[in-house]
Chain A
Amino acid sequence: MSTSLTQKLTATAASPASAGRGRGAGRRTDPGTIALGSRRARPAYVALAPYFLLFAIFSAIPIGFTMFLAFTDWRGIGDWNLVGLTNFGYLLEDPLFWKALSNTLILWVMTTIPCLTLATLVALGLNSAVRFSTVYRVAYLVPNITSLVAMGILFSSIFSSNFGIVNALLNSVGLESVRWLQSEWGIKVAISTLSAWSFVGYNAMIILAGLQSVEKQVYEAAQLDGAGPVRTFFSITVPMLRPIIMFITIMSTIGSLQSFTEAQVMTSSQGGGASSAGGVGNSGLTLVLYFYSVAFQENRYGYGATIAWGVMVVVILFTIINWVATRERSR
């Protein structure tokens, strides 16, 4: 092309240098990028098109439609009516929704705290033990990559009342069997054990990366100042890990608030429908499992859409809480 040289010259002049210049230039061009005017930007738009086309069809439009559905009483077949805020009023007074919300929050605490504590310990161990580190990493990560359906089935047997290995262990030390899968707290222990087990390795790898990014000079300086290992951990390692802790707390929270598979698989043998979802006394009913039962087992699409909005509010609320909590302390 004949214009390529001038293009090149304008591009270099505009790209890295313009970052610090006037506001007008900075707003248009990010540092380290090549500025494309509206005429030459066509290939960039073509490159973005497939992503945004799929996004529009399978995310944006459906999300808009979910908002609309939440104001209707549609059940999949037959007529539907606009019912105003009825669904939202019903949601606020729906004992099952609150049950699901409280279960989800309890499971979140029961999963995240042991999971992140164990992950920190594993990461600290791996940070100093150099030998076999790849073997350890693989062993700790394998639970994270395996199917939760298969593992849910396995954990159902591990926690089974009649023959589970957990009860066998309890019996062998003289304790009574617990009906894990059929009791209010038992099912929560079973579900959160599965979730925590599958995510310890993943979180440990992230914390490990954070640990290894702390400059060794910082540790050497602390040693010269006479700081012991405990002091070093709390005064240097923990503050340096703050961004990592924030990252994994938020990611674990978003994941945990939307957990579905563990609860679905471990309580599915106990009948269908929303009222019996989540096992005995709805003890294992999570928000997303409730959403699934209402929308796809009872075909109450209007109310299901309302629950989906409820899930979104909870997720965003807790993300903000987490973000503020982990950020405030760093100051």
Chain B
Amino acid sequence: MTTTSAPESSRLTSPAAGVTARRRRRPPVRRSVGRLLRHLLLAAGALLSFFPFYWMFVLSTHRSAAIYEFPPPLLPGDRFRENFESVMSTINVWAAMANTLLVAVTVTFFVLLIDSLAAFAFAKFSFPGKRILFLVVMLTFLLPSQLATIPQFLMMTELGWVGELKAVIVPSLAGAFGVFWLRQFFQNSVRTELIEAATIDGCGFFRQYLHVALPSARPALAFLGIFTFIGSWNDFMWPLIVLNDPSRLTLQVALSQLQTTHGTDYGMLMMSALIAVVPLIIVFIIGAKQFIDGITEGALK
């Protein structure tokens, strides 16, 4: 109904106000002890949440034999470069990363385009058949993707796409989640009067989409973009099924193959896992605010 900024700001101020009102009654010593305890627990949880990444980094800087030592090493070792070079000489990491990037960027671009077009039509217009078409979109949420996997694979075999990146890209160019998500956003934050005014000015459907809907949907598009990019980057089962050419693998498939062929070389294995994880963490930290806002808004509407 209204713009999203209003409820957001009230959501931010209300708990803080509630907390200070509650705290006023407690004695100051108890209050600060409680606050300290809460921060300690939260920090401990955050450390626990982050520890595996640190451990991954530590293991990637040691000789593989080092992890058989007791107690295990808790500080970084001096084999970072050796392990890095050993990964580079075993698999073509840069090619795998380029492939993953190509897949993720293409998929993200088309999901944003195709889903936002469909979402705009669903959100702002009524037309014959709309209810049934939207029901179809919602139903795909419930159906497990495995239902389509075998015929999709047969299709890729028929097309001769097995082993090629387009076999990973093309089936994921549209998603039900994006349509659902953006439709919510268009409904709540693009005012129908604006579109009506655009109609009077002689703007057709697609110019309304381009000039009215898309500019105001930037935060929603940003969240969907990060979400899709991360999902595509981490996608595993389908790429594992259709990619079999060693020179054309995504990072996840390359990693899993490295695990089966070099399962005991832990230093190298951890280095390759680290390489696969770091770019995504960077993307996430850049877009963290949009992503966090996005998650919380999706649940509330």
| Chain A residues within CB distance 8 Å of chain B | 1, 4-5, 7-8, 11-12, 15-16, 28-30, 32-38, 41, 43-48, 50-52, 54-55, 57-59, 61-63, 65-66, 69, 118, 121-122, 125-132, 134-143, 145-151, 153-155, 157-158, 162-163, 165, 168, 171-172, 197, 200-202, 205-206, 208-216, 219-220, 223, 229, 244, 247-248, 254, 258, 260-261, 264-265, 268-269, 288, 291-292, 295-296, 301, 304-305, 308-309, 311-312, 315-316, 319
Contacts and interface: CB of A to CB of B under 8 A. Distances in A.
B18 interface: yes
B114 interface: yes
A139 B49 CA distance: 7
Given A63-B147, A130-B16, A140 B68 contact: no
Given A212-B15, A308-B149, A315-B144, A197 B273 contact: no
B98 interface: no
B81 interface: no
Contact of B295 (A142, A146, A202): A202
Nearest to A40: B127
B256 to A, nearest CB: 6
Given A38-B128, A296-B241, A55 B199 contact: no
B291 A48 contact: no
B90 interface: no
A147 B230 CA distance: 9
Contacts of B144: 258, 288, 308, 311-312, 315
Interface in B1-30: 7, 11-12, 14-19, 21-22
Nearest to A261: B236
B284 A43 contact: no
Pairs of residues from A and B, 8 with the lowest C-beta to C-beta distance, nearest first: A209-B296, A43-B205, A62-B151, A41-B127, A62-B148, A150-B273, A139-B46, A65-B151
B300 A210 contact: yes
A47 B205 CA distance: 9
Interface in B89-139: 113-115, 117-118, 120-128, 130, 133, 136-137
Contact of A4 (B67, B155, B202, B284): B202
B209 interface: yes
Contacts of A219: 18, 21-22
B93 to A, nearest CB: 13
Interface string B239-274: 011000000000110011001100100100110011
Given A139-B49, A210-B299, 8 more contacts: A16-B192, A58-B148, A121-B41, A128-B38, A147-B236, A148-B234, A157-B270, A265-B259
Contacts of B69: 163
A147 B18 contact: no
Contacts of B59: 154, 157
B150 A308 contact: yes
B33 interface: no
Nearest to A8: B200
Contact of B38 (A125, A212, A223): A125
B300 A213 contact: yes
Interface string B32-50: 0001001101100110011
Nearest to A211: B15
A130 B14 CA distance: 12
B237 interface: yes
B137 to A, nearest CB: 8
Nearest to B68: A163
A36 B50 CA distance: 52
Nearest to B192: A32
Interface in B143-179: 143-155, 170-171, 173-174, 179
Contacts of A141: 284, 288, 291-292
B280 interface: yes
Contact of B146 (A35, A130, A216, A308): A308
Contact of A223 (B21, B49, B255, B300): B21
Contacts of A4: 199-200, 202
A236 B7 CA distance: 20
A4 B204 CA distance: 10
Interface centre among B52, B142, B200 (most CB of A within 10 A): B52
A80 to B, nearest CB: 12
Given A33-B124, A154-B56, A295-B150, A51 B118 contact: yes
Nearest to B259: A153
Contacts of A145: 230, 234, 280-281, 284, 291
B260 to A, nearest CB: 6
B184 interface: no
Given A29-B126, A141-B284, A141-B291, A212 B12 contact: yes
12 contacts: A57-B155, A58-B170, A59-B140, A66-B147, A132-B39, A142-B49, A143-B49, A149-B236, A149-B273, A151-B52, A163-B69, A202-B295
Contacts of B136: 52, 55
A15 B196 CA distance: 10
Contact of A258 (B133, B146, B199, B252): B146
B86 interface: no
B291 A142 contact: no
A138 B236 CA distance: 24
Nearest to B148: A62
A146 B269 CA distance: 16
A41 to B, nearest CB: 4
Contact of A36 (B126, B200, B263, B299): B126
A305 B151 CA distance: 9
B128 A269 contact: no
